[in-house]
Amino acid sequence: MTARLQVVRAGALTTVQDDGRPGYAHLGVGHAGALDAPARQLANRLAGNRADAAVLETTLTGCAVRPDRASTAVVGGAPCRVTVDGRPVAWGAPVHVPAGAVLEAHPAARGVRSYLAFGGGLLPEPVLGSRSADLLSGLGPAPLRDGDELPLGTPHGAPGRADAVPWPGMPASLVLPVRLGPRHDWFTPAALRTLATAGYRVSPHSNRIGLRTDGPALERARQGELPSEGVVLGAVQVPPDGRPVVFLNDHPTTGGYPVIGVVPRESLAAAAQATPGTAVRFVPVR
């Protein structure tokens, strides 16, 4: 019989995430996958899983789950208090969860998204080769609700052992490199200076689709809208209010608002952990 993981407390937004669905943009299917990929991969490594195993991604308020078999679990990503049946256990390291015990990742002390990895990984039905939830398209498993159950895989490796684990710190401020283009010529020279010098802040309206910003509007040199064209992970799109939006994993595959630049993929994990109000600077690079 397949082991199961029962959701006791789903939290504000908890989803199943793995490496995502790269390579389907031409079909209108976005990437999805864990927003903080390095944190997910490290949690899997410590749990004895392959790096691409599916985990739970929480948002701010954490979650609580109950496995029906004894399991090794790792809670990483955004630091938080971790308990098993109410007793404190380690964050960022393998812990033993007895069958029927409740593992709880409490609200994030810093950052936004914590990751819960279990030995053997989570095994909801894959869609286009991925078990990730995509909030924009609705592909993959739905966001978790209290009482949901997820199948658990069979562990195939020993938990990782390390004297010290290099979990990245949560960002006190964001400095995002941005390569200008393809539509930076739709903006005035003053707007390009503003992008490079002004201070922005993470908007509370940010989500898995995009990091929205509050700050000065970028002035357009050309009016009207583009025909819809392809957009990529990290694209900095500028909607009619003039405030940049950095596309994250659940972004649409096409859009009609101009893209002033693109943030490289390796800088997006920090963006995924930036809480509302975090200072943001864009730094144009070649």
Q: Domain locations in the chain?
A: 4-151, 173-285
Q: Which pLDDT belongs to residue 231?
A: 95
Q: Which pLDDT belongs to residue 166?
A: 84
Asked whether the beta carbons of 241 and 253 are under 8 A apart, the reply is no
**Residue 245, beta-bridge partner list:** 212, 237
173-285: CATH topology: Cyclophilin (2.40.100)
Return the closest-CA partner of residue 77 out of 59, 104, 96: 59
Please report, for the chain, how many H helices and E strands are present, in that order: 3, 20
pTM of the model: 0.96
Asked whether the beta carbons of 190 and 184 are under 8 A apart, the reply is no
Joined together, the tokens standing for residue 266 give 């390796």
* Identity at 87, one-letter amino acid code: R
Dist. CA 8–CA 15, nearest whole Å:
14
Asked whether the beta carbons of 183 and 92 are under 8 A apart, the reply is no
Q: Which pLDDT belongs to residue 225?
A: 81
**Residue 283, beta-bridge partner list:** 177
Count of C-beta atoms within a 10 Å radius of residue 157: 14
Q: Which pLDDT belongs to residue 34?
A: 98
Q: How many CA atoms are closer than 13 Å to the CA of 45, on its beta-carbon side? A: 12
From first to last of its 286 residues, what are the pLDDT tens digits of the chain? 789 999 999 999 999 999 999 999 999 999 999 999 999 999 999 999 999 999 999 999 999 999 999 999 999 999 999 999 999 999 999 999 999 999 999 999 999 999 999 999 999 999 999 999 999 999 999 999 999 999 999 998 788 777 777 888 899 999 999 999 999 999 999 999 999 999 999 999 999 999 999 999 999 999 888 899 999 999 999 999 999 999 999 999 999 999 999 999 999 999 999 999 999 999 999 8
